[in-house]
Amino acid sequence: MTTVVGSMPKRQWLYKRSKVAERSGYNYGKEGAWTLDGEALSRAKDDAARVAIRVQERAGIDIISDGEQRREHYLTHLTQNMGGFDYKNLVEKTIRGGRSRAMVGQCVGPIEHKGAITIDDLAFLKKEADRPVKVTLPGPMTVVDSTFNDFYDDDRDMAFAWADAINQEARLLDALGPAMIQFDEPTFSRYPDKVLEWGIEALNRCVAGIKAETVVHICYGYPRPGTPKRPIVDSYPTIIAALEKSEIDVLALEFEGANLDPALLKACPSKKVMFGCVFNSDAVLETPQHIAGRLLKAAEYLPPEQILAAPDCGLAPMSFDSAADKLGNLVKGAELARKKVG
């Protein structure tokens, strides 16, 4: 099986990233701006989603997303539509374990699910797609790290409040019958101690009562000019072992960009794994043969039926043509690996 992590590149005619976001990547709530408005914007978002869907279908991806084409940002699209957040007055905060400074929104009151946020998006995706679909939501630890807490006693309390609120959204999505509901937790790799203390418990609250396969995506991190990527090899064994005991069905892990050893999969024998085997960068195009080799190595540690070939992370940072080429080679590589194992 093949799938995607979530995002696809946005067309510049529809969405312009801010200069600050282009330089730092972290300017929550002010990432950019749509080039249209009103009914024209709504129709353009539909068209952008259709293109993202068709690119994945043409590549042969088995479980597809809408490319998050309607979201300015994977996180703020949800937080700005929940009760309790202020994005008019951003504040500066150190995030990602001290790796970056960011302008973030503030949590100034109780986090509340005020109503459906992404339901229409999923309904459109299911109507347009000819294969199973997935939808993504931001996880508790990442929301806590990516906002300023000016209301709750501590990070744990805020994380659980978000978990309860996003679970309400997830249950509404689940009723539409997606194949997967994914929770994005890029910050897990930066805070392994917090993962053990409360991260897994908060994640379990997110998926309570969900019938679709549940996924958690653990980032290695997008490449950022001038910012070295801190290795997370030491934290992955801790995180994967902890997730083995979680209620999550599928672990989405990045192996390609970090060149991590697939032997790490020994720590999660009961889980399916979205095995990241193409990197979300235009700099290199992995060949089908390379992808097959990585998948076959992963199959030494997990049964092939528990492995889903996937990109490392969302493909939003790439050019659209490069993203399409990556997905095409991903499918070809998975087919080569499948033939090798019979």
> pLDDT tens digit string along 240-284?
999 999 999 999 999 999 889 999 999 999 999 999 999 999 999
Domain count, the chain: 1
Window from 20-29, 77-86, 165-174, 312-321 with minimum mean pLDDT:
20-29
- pLDDT of amino acid 98: 79
pLDDT computed for residue 5 by the predictor? 97
Is 95 within a domain? yes
What's the start-to-end Cα distance of the chain, in Å? 14
pLDDT level of residue 219 (50, 70, 90 thresholds): confident
**Residue 5 lies inside a defined structural domain of this protein:** no
d(CA 318, CA 8): 8
* Domain limits for position 224: 15-341
- Alpha-carbon gap, residue 310 to 312, rounded angstroms: 6
| DSSP 8-class letter at 220 | -
Query: CA angle 275-279-283, nearest 5°?
Result: 165
Q: How confident is the model at residue 25 (pLDDT cuts 50, 70, 90)?
A: low
Residue 136 lies in a domain: yes
For 326-338, how does the pLDDT look when each residue is reduced to its tens digit (9 = 90+)?
Answer: 999 999 999 999 9
Residue at 7 is within a domain: no
What are the backbone angles phi and psi of residue 101, rounded to the nearest 5°?
-105, 145
Which strands make up the sheet holding 100-112, listed edge to edge?
83-95, 100-112, 147-149
340 is written with which tokens? Answer: 């090798």
Give the pairing of strands 100-112 and 83-95: antiparallel
Longest Cα pair distance anywhere in the chain, in angstroms?
57
Q: Which residues, in sequence order, are CB contacts of 264 under 8 Å at separation 6+?
A: 236, 237, 240, 253
**Can you tell me whether residue 2 is helix, strand or coil?**
strand
For residue 324, the domain's CATH number is 3.20.20.210
Q: pLDDT-based confidence at 227, cuts 50/70/90?
A: low
Mean pLDDT value across residues 214-227: 72
For the chain, percent of residues with pLDDT exceeding 70:
94
293-321 mean pLDDT: 97
Domain assignment present for residue 273? The answer is: yes
Per the CB < 8 A criterion, the answer to whether 248 and 218 are in contact is no
Show the 3-state SS of 12-67.
Answer: CCCEEECHHHHHHCCECCCCEEECCCHHHHHHHHHHHHHHHHHHHHHHCCCEECCC
Position 252 in a domain: yes
Average pLDDT score over residue span 188-209: 96
Cβ atoms of 113 and 157 within 8 Å: the answer is no
Looking at the predicted structure, is the pLDDT value of residue 228 above 90? no
pLDDT at 29: 75
Q: pTM of the entire structure?
A: 0.94
Q: How confident is the model at residue 168 (pLDDT cuts 50, 70, 90)?
A: very high
The CA-atom distances, in angstroms, between 118 and each of 41, 50, 166, 205, 316 are: 17, 16, 11, 19, 19
pLDDT of residue 27: 75
Amino acid letter, 79: T
3 CB contacts (<8 Å, ≥6 apart)? 61, 62, 63, 64, 134, 180, 274, 308, 309, 310
Instruction: Write out the H or E segment, with its range, that includes residue 136.
Output: strand 134-138
**What is the C-alpha to C-alpha distance for residues 121 and 102, in angstroms, rounded to an integer?**
28
The reply to whether 232 falls in a domain is yes
Section 198-213 average pLDDT = 98
Q: Residue 18: what pLDDT?
A: 75
